[in-house]
């Protein structure tokens, strides 16, 4: 078909980012053995669970002002950035981010109790978010080439190698890491959506940064869905960014200027899965969830 073939490694299918296409094992090992700094913050989050959102909040808290910057998150996205060596010249504190599972995180950072922020989102909404991400992104495949059912099967069916090894194993591994007392701050997407002030304050405490009520209010306001979406939409770099993403797909045949900008701020709601899942898909998912998460103590908020 027209789709750009995914990269498969260690039981995971990974997005076809250039560094992964050109040498997945080398890049993953470079991440694992990354020379981290004690001041680094690492966001380790399954795809479509709110990485962009939380990256902005963390950056604002660390810098003490509620100002949006877009290039920041992408320039520290470990498996996608062109040259991972460029992080050496970046100022501290660096807000590193990745969708890789716990076992592939930078070991020095993990073992020295470096700060790790982990966001959990309910996987039904992740499925919907991923579907629109596939549709909107020239990086993955042509917009006419993906159906919701494909996305559902790709994410949840046992026969496939799901993105980043799949949500179930991703979260089970993190649950175990938390129980092993690594320095992980766990945050739920749904709680952040419902009680942003409370969760942003908890983040500030974890990061050990000064937090005036005024700053917390400003960040809550600047990081609301509508404000972030508007800030992102009005970016001057929008077109440049679009070209980088689409241009990374060597199989892309269309007109880059006609491709829709793939916003990471789509709808930002809880429970959009109800508008997309069939009754049958929902039953299959619930059954799978019961089996997969039988030993888990996680509470997931599906609505
Ligand atoms: P939807 O597609 O459901 O809208 P990631 O950054 O990990 O790719 O996650 C993207 C998801 O986070 C998108 O979900 C996006 O809308 C949502 N998101 C980003 N900022 C948000 C905000 N301020 N409030 C609610 N959801 C937000």
pLDDT digits (tens, 9 = 90+) for 187-214: 999 999 999 999 999 999 999 999 899 9
- The answer to whether 141 and 286 are in contact (CB under 8 A) is no
**CA atoms within 13 Å, Cβ hemisphere of 82:** 4
Count Cβ atoms within 10 A of the Cβ of residue 212 and give its class: 0-12 exposed, 13-18 middle, 19 or more buried: exposed
Count Cβ atoms within 10 A of the Cβ of residue 167 and give its class: 0-12 exposed, 13-18 middle, 19 or more buried: buried
Structure tokens at 234: 């009005």
Q: For residue 60, which of 173, 260, 227, 194 has the smallest C-alpha distance? A: 227
- Beta strand 95-98 with 184-188 is unpaired
Dihedral Cα 181, 184, 186, 192, nearest 10 deg = 150
* pLDDT band at residue 242 using 50, 70 and 90 as cut-offs: low
Cβ contacts of 73 within 8 Å, gap of 6 or more: 51, 52, 55, 56, 59, 95, 97
- What is the pLDDT at residue 143? 47
- The more confidently predicted of residues 239 and 55 is 55
**CA atoms within 13 Å, Cβ hemisphere of 185:** 20
Q: How far apart are CA 188 and CA 122, in angstroms?
A: 9
- What is the pLDDT at residue 234? 76
Domain ranges of the chain: 7-292
Q: How far apart are the CA of 53 and the centre of ligand 1, in A?
A: 6
Structure tokens at 300: 């997931």
Residue nearest to atom 23 of ligand 1 (CA): 225
Q: How far apart are the CA of 296 and the centre of ligand 1, in A?
A: 25
Q: For residue 174, which of 57, 49, 290, 265 has the smallest C-alpha distance? A: 49
- pTM for the model stands at 0.93
- The answer to whether 69 and 149 are in contact (CB under 8 A) is no
- The answer to whether 189 and 119 are in contact (CB under 8 A) is yes
Atom number of ligand 1 nearest to Cα 47: 7
CA distances (Å), origin 151, targets 146, 148, 210, 258, 281: 7, 5, 42, 24, 12
- Spell out which residues line ligand 1, taking CB within 6 angstroms: 47-53, 125, 129, 132, 193, 223-225, 228, 264-268, 272
Q: How far apart are the CA of 292 and the centre of ligand 1, in A?
A: 25
Q: How far apart are CA 14 and CA 282, in angstroms?
A: 25
Q: How far apart are the CA of 47 and the centre of ligand 1, in A?
A: 10
- The more confidently predicted of residues 73 and 239 is 73
Three-state DSSP class for 235? coil
pLDDT in tens, 39-73: 999 999 999 999 999 999 999 999 999 998 766 88
Average pLDDT estimate for 252-263: 59
Q: Which CATH number fits domain 7-292: 3.50.50.60, 3.40.50.1000, 3.40.50.1820, 3.40.50.300?
A: 3.40.50.300
Residue nearest to atom 24 of ligand 1 (CA): 225
pLDDT in tens, 13-38: 998 888 999 999 999 999 999 999 99
pLDDT in tens, 275-296: 999 999 999 999 999 999 999 9
* pLDDT band at residue 157 using 50, 70 and 90 as cut-offs: confident
The rounded mean pLDDT for the chain is 89
ipTM associated with this complex: 0.99
% pLDDT > 90, the chain: 71
- Beta strand 95-98 with 115-120 is unpaired
pLDDT in tens, 125-145: 999 999 888 776 655 544 456
Most confident of 65-74, 211-220, 234-243: 211-220
């Amino acid at each position: 078909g027209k789709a750009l073939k995914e990269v498969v490694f260690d039981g995971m299918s990974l997005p076809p980012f250039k560094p992964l296409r050109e040498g997945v094992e080398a890049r993953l090992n470079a991440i694992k053995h990354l020379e981290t700094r004690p001041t680094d913050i690492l966001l380790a989050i399954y795809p479509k669970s709110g990485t962009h959102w939380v990256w902005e909040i963390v950056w604002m808290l660390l810098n003490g002002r509620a100002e949006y910057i877009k290039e920041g998150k992408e320039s520290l996205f470990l498996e996608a950035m062109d040259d991972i060596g460029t992080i050496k010249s970046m100022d501290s504190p660096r807000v590193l981010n990745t969708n890789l599972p716990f076992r592939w995180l930078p070991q020095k950072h993990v073992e020295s109790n470096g700060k790790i922020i982990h966001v959990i989102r309910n996987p039904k909404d992740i499925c919907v978010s991923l579907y629109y991400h596939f549709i909107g992104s020239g990086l993955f495949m042509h917009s006419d080439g993906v159906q919701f059912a494909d996305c559902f099967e790709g994410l949840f069916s046992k026969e496939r190698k799901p993105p980043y090894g799949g949500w179930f194993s991703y979260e089970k591994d993190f649950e175990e890491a938390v129980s092993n007392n690594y320095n992980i701050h766990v945050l739920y997407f749904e709680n952040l959506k419902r009680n942003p002030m409370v969760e942003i304050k908890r983040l500030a405490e974890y990061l050990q940064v000064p937090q005036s009520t005024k700053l917390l209010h400003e960040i809550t306001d600047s990081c609301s869905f509508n404000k972030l979406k508007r800030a992102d939409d009005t970016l001057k770099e929008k077109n440049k960014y679009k070209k980088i993403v689409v241009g990374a797909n060597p199989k892309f045949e269309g007109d880059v200027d006609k491709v829709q900008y793939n916003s990471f701020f789509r709808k930002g709601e809880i429970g959009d899965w109800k508008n997309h899942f069939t009754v049958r898909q929902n039953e299959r998912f619930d059954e799978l969830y019961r089996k997969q998460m039988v030993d888990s103590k996680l509470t997931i908020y599906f609505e």
